[in-house]
């Protein structure tokens, strides 16, 4: 299908899309080779560890993207309320309104779960902690912030499953809109002037 591969950095997103679309077990080397435009030999040159290494590096890149574009703004922004709104918007874009699946969630549900247990756990844990941090700075008590953050993780993943099961992206978009409202409801929101 696609060609156009110059550096290693260009390969990972292409492989990621194959893993997303077919799952770890379903992503065969033939598919990965075709999508990247690289022969199997070349793939093994880049990833001597084979399919497992490809998936591990893809997960690491995903984690890096979320760290830079989602976790950090939540942790560092001086306007936590805006950071949360930004998170929702970024998630909507990233998952293409529910048409794109979360590879981390797919791996978590699949048989390869044990092989990637650590990165999968870390991804959701870091995300939840970053969101909880932003919520606390919005005026949420620590316990409430933690619960709402965990709830958000769960709503996002569930929305992806149901949107795909019903083949209806609107489900995802609506869930994100609801989530945005629910995260900050009943919060002090001491607007700094």
Contact residues: DNA, CB under 7 A = 5, 27-31, 37-42, 44-46, 48, 50-52
For residue 102, which of 85, 77, 127, 80 has the smallest C-alpha distance? 127
CA–CA dist 70, 128 (Å, integer): 11
Q: What angle do CA 133, 117, 41 make, to 5 degrees?
A: 120
110 contact choice in its own copies, DNA, none (CB below 5 to 8 Å, kind-dependent): its own copies
Q: Which of 167, 181, 185, 188 binds its own copies (CB under 8 A)?
A: 167
Question: And the tokens for 10?
Answer: 């260009």
CA–CA dist 66, 128 (Å, integer): 12
167 contact choice in DNA, its own copies, none (CB below 5 to 8 Å, kind-dependent): its own copies
CA–CA dist 116, 103 (Å, integer): 11
Query: What x-and-dash track marks residues 116-135 binding its own copies by CB under 8 A?
Result: -x--xx-xxx----------
109 contact choice in DNA, its own copies, none (CB below 5 to 8 Å, kind-dependent): its own copies
CA–CA dist 75, 127 (Å, integer): 10
Question: Could you list the residues that contact its own copies (CB under 8 A)?
Answer: 21-23, 25-26, 101, 104-106, 108-113, 117, 120-121, 123-125, 147, 150-151, 153-162, 164-167, 171, 174-175, 178
């Amino acid at each position: 299908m696609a060609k156009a591969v110059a550096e290693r950095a260009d390969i990972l997103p292409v492989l990621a899309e194959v893993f997303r679309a077919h799952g770890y077990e379903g992503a065969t080397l033939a598919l990965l080779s075709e999508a990247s435009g690289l022969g199997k030999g070349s793939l093994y040159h880049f990833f001597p560890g084979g399919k497992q290494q490809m998936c591990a590096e893809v997960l690491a890149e995903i984690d890096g993207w979320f760290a830079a574009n989602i976790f950090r703004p939540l942790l560092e922004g001086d306007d936590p309320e805006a950071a949360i709104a930004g998170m929702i918007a970024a998630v909507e874009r990233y998952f293409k309104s529910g048409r794109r699946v979360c590879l981390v969630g797919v791996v978590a549900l699949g048989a390869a779960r044990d092989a990637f247990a650590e990165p999968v756990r870390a991804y959701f844990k870091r995300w939840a902690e970053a969101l909880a941090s932003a919520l606390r700075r919005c005026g949420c008590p620590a316990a409430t912030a933690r619960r709402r953050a965990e709830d958000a993780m769960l709503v996002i993943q569930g929305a992806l499953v149901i949107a795909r099961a019903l083949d209806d992206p609107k489900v995802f978009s609506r869930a994100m809109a609801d989530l945005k409202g629910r995260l900050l409801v009943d919060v002090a929101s001491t607007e700094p002037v």
